[in-house]
Amino acid sequence: MSDKMFMGASTKQGLDIANKSREIIRNLIGDDVKDLNPAERDIVERIVHSTADPEYAKLVKISPDFVDAAMASLKNKETILTDINMVKYGITRYEGEVECYIKNKEVIKIAKENQITRAAAAMRYAADNGFEGIVVSGNAPTAVFEAMDLYEKGEMNLKAIVGVPVGFVGAADSKEALHNSNIPNIIVEGPKGGTPIAVACVNSLIQHL
């Protein structure tokens, strides 16, 4: 990816700001990302840019197969399934489908009948309705756990998980479990994470298409 496309900047003023930002970020986190490949570095740089928090360069963990698996899915225009609408609306310039079923009536019914979160129920609903692609969770650890469980049972055709839910209950545990799984993944260690992280990761990948 060209620096000219960093964070989607297109005007001269935007490009100048983006390039200056990237220069600052590289000076701050260079040692932390020196062993990453270019696509992985782009992801981390974009996350740091989106949060103004260089600590993320130490917290982001990317499985060796994540970028290749995620890019293959995106190039095939497979679905991006998000845990909440805020993540969905932040993903731009993708020619495939970006779906979120958190408000779907059937999902709400599944959640009530099984006493699970709507985020988890949305994963079940997607799996039962032909989903194939990438799961992106910035907020709901239950979505990560459910997607992993469905995948392990052979019931969900997912290619990779962006697992960066934020919070103090379940978030760190879900990410640790995902990191230790055989699913191509990117996580943020500990309680940090959230919508900006999930969106930054996916939009960075899309810019490589």
- The CATH T-level fold of domain 10-206 is Rossmann fold (3.40.50)
Q: What is the 3-state secondary structure (H, E, C) of the chain?
A: CCHHHHHHCCCHHHHHHHHHHHHHHHHHHHHHHCCCCHHHHHHHHHHHHHHCCCCHHHHEEECCCHHHHHHHHHHCCCEEEECCHHHHHHCCCCCCCEECCCCCHHHHHHHHHHCCCHHHHHHHHHHHCCCEEEEEECCCHHHHHHHHHHHHCCCCEEEEEEECCCCCCCHHHHHHHHHCCCCCEEEECCCCCCHHHHHHHHHHHHCCC
pLDDT of res. 124: 98
pTM of the model: 0.92
> Which tens digits make up the pLDDT trace of 147-197?
999 999 999 999 999 999 999 999 999 999 999 999 999 999 999 999 999
pLDDT tens digit sequence for 93-134: 999 999 999 999 999 999 999 999 999 999 999 999 999 999
Percent pLDDT > 70 in the chain is 95
CB 16 within 8 A of CB 39: no
**In the chain, where the domains are located:** 10-206
Residue 8 is predicted with a pLDDT of 60
Query: pLDDT class for 200, splitting at 50, 70, 90?
Result: very high
Task: Please state, in angstroms and rounded to a whole number, the distance separating the CA atoms of residues 50 and 15.
Answer: 16
pLDDT (tens digit, 9 = 90+) per residue, 3-49?
Answer: 445 556 667 777 777 778 888 998 899 999 999 999 999 999 999 99
Instruction: In whole angstroms, give the CA distance from residue 97 to residue 74.
Output: 10
Neighbours of 108 (CB within 10 A): 16
How many angstroms from the chain centroid is the CA of residue 207? 14
Q: Which residues are known catalytic residues?
A: 49
Phi, psi for 189 (deg, rounded to 5): -65, 145
